[in-house]
Amino acid sequence: MTVVLGADLGTSGLKLAALDPDGAVVAEVEAAYPVDRPRPGWAQAEVSGWRRALDGALVELAGQLGGRRVRALGLAGQMHGAVLVDADGTALAPALLWPDRRAAGELDRWRQLPAADRAALANPLAPGMTGPMLAWLARHRPELVAQAAAVLLPKDAVRATLVPGADPAVTDRSDATATLLWDVPGERWSAPAVAAAGVDAALLPAVRPGHEVVGTARLPVGEVPVVVGGADTPLALLAAGTRAGTQVNLGSGAQVLRPGVPARPAPDPVVHCFADAEDGWYAMAALQNAGTAWAWVQSVLGLDWAAFAGSLDASPPGAGGVVFRPFLTGERGGVAGPTDRGGWSGLSADTTRADLARAALEGVACAVAVGLDLLGPDGDEVVVLTGGGARDDGVQQVLADVLGRAVQHVQVRSASAAGAAVLAARGVGEQLTPQRVVGPVVEPRGPAMQEVRERWGRAPG
C-alpha cells in the first residue's frame, strides 16, 4: 500500500499527515516551534527550526506507516512573510512572518503608486506581506538584500532545504498573489510594485504549478518526490471541496472565503483576492482574532472549552445585553482597523460569567458576519463551516443565528496538510479526494439576533 504526505507549516506549529488512496488520514503528527518576538510588533522564526520540526515529525510518522511506501510530499504554508536565501536556498536571516508589523511605515510606497498600478494589486495593504517586508529589509538591512539570491515564502524556504541541487527560487500562484507584488488581472509580477519595494526583480521566485515536482528528497520515510505546494488557506479550500458559495474557516483566526471570483482590478479593496490552488481565484475577508480571542476569554474567566461553550445554555441569546468585540490585537481593515481593540461593554450588576462567555462567542460570530457582508451576496447557499472552532454544535447554531443563514460543518482532518497531499498525488499522476465528514444543516432560529448584531456594531472598539 502507498500513501502521500502533506505538511502544513503553520505559524506556531507543523502538521504532517499521510493519506491513503481512498483519502483517509492513516497517520498524522504535530510539532510545535516558537515565534520569536525580539521587539514589540516583530514576529520572526528560524527556518532551521521549521526543518527540525519537519524532520522530527517525519521520524515519528515513519513509525506509524507500517511499511507503507510514500509516493510524494506536498507542503502547505502560512501565507505572506519573507525569507531571504542564498543561491543554495540557505536562509540568510530569520524568516519575517505575517503578524510582523515592522514594515507598517513602508506601506506609503504602495499608497503612492499610480492608481492603475495600485488597483492591479487588488488587495488591501498589510505590513506582513512580502512586498512591504522586502522594502523594510532594503531600507534597514541593505547588506543582507545584496547577499540574497531570492526571497521566498515560508513553505518554499522549507522545501528548498529538502531538495538540494534544485533551484530554490520557486513558488506557486496561491502564495505569489498574496505578496503585494503580483498584478492580479495580468497574472505576473508587478514591475511598479517591485520598484516600490526597492529591490531587483531578479530576487523574485519563478511561479510554477503547485503539483509540479521540483526534486527528490531523502527523508526518514525514503526517497520521496517533492512538489511545489501551496498556501494554507487555498489548500484547505481544496481539501474541503468548496467551489461555490461561502466557506468560513474558524481557527486561531477566521477566514470568510468566496471561491470562484473574477480576477479584476480593485482601486481601494476591503477584501483580499488571491489565487486558489488550481486555476481560479477566491475572495477573503480575514480576521486575526477569533479562536485566539476565545482562548484569552477562557483564560481570563477560568473556563475550559466545555464550560465556555456551555455558557450558551446558561445565558440567553444576546448575553443579557453584554457585547464583546474580539479585536485584541487589531485587524487588517475592512472588519476592523489596526488600532481597534477588544473588550466587553454593556455590563451591569446582573451580568454573569456565562453572559461574558456567551458574549465572546457571539462577538466573533458578529465579526464573521461583517466579513460576509463585505464579500457581498452569494445566492444564499448554505455556508460551509470548517476548522476546529466550528466543531461544537452550539457554536454552529450561534453562527447560523448571527449570520441569518443556514450553515453546515464539513470536517477534514488536517485540512491544509490534506490539500498539500492532493497536490503531491497529482504530481505523481494520481487523483486524491480527502475524506470529509459532513454534518447536518443548521438553520437560523428567526430574527432574534439582528438586534445583537446592531448592538455589536455600535459598541466601542
Q: What is the pLDDT of residues 132-149, one digit of tens each?
A: 999 999 999 999 999 999
User: Percentage of the chain surpassing pLDDT 90?
Assistant: 83
Q: Tell me if 180 sits within 8 A of 129, measured CB to CB.
A: yes
Confidence of residue 458 (pLDDT cuts 50, 70, 90): confident
Q: One fold for both 2-228 and 233-461?
A: yes
What's the average model confidence in pLDDT over 21-42?
94
Of 272, 229, 230, which Cα lies nearest the Cα of 253? 272
pLDDT at 76 over 70: yes
Tens of pLDDT along 199-231?
Answer: 999 999 999 999 999 999 999 999 999 999 999
- The answer to whether 248 and 293 are in contact (CB under 8 A) is no
Q: How high is the pLDDT of residue 252?
A: 83
Distance CA 158, CA 90 (A): 9
HSE-CB of 212 using CA atoms within 13 angstroms: 14
Residue 448: predicted pLDDT:
63
The model's confidence at residue 339, banded by pLDDT at 50, 70 and 90, is: confident
Tell me the domain boundaries of the chain: 2-228, 233-461
- Spatial distance between the Cα atoms of 85 and 94, rounded to a whole number of angstroms: 10
What integer is the mean pLDDT of 73-96?
Answer: 96
Q: pLDDT tier at 253 (50, 70, 90 boundaries)?
A: confident
CATH architecture, domain defined by 2-228: 2-Layer Sandwich (3.30)
Task: Give Cβ neighbours of residue 368 (< 8 Å, ≥ 6 apart).
Answer: 248, 250, 254, 256, 287, 290, 399, 402, 403
Helix (H, G, I), strand (E, B) or coil at 197: helix
In CATH terms, is domain 233-461 a member of 1.10.10.10?
Answer: no
Could you tell me the pTM of the whole model? 0.91
Q: Distance (Å, rounded) from C-alpha 238 to C-alpha 231?
A: 11
Looking at residue 82, its pLDDT comes to: 97
pLDDT band at 244 (very low <50, low <70, confident <90, very high): confident
Q: What percent of the chain has pLDDT over 70?
A: 99
Q: How far, in Å, are 37, 155, 211, 224 from residue 432 at the CA level?
A: 39, 21, 12, 17
- Quick check: 447 pLDDT over 80? no
78 pLDDT higher than 90? yes
Residue 128 has pLDDT above 80, yes or no: yes
Residue 93: per-residue pLDDT? 97
| Average pLDDT score, the chain | 94
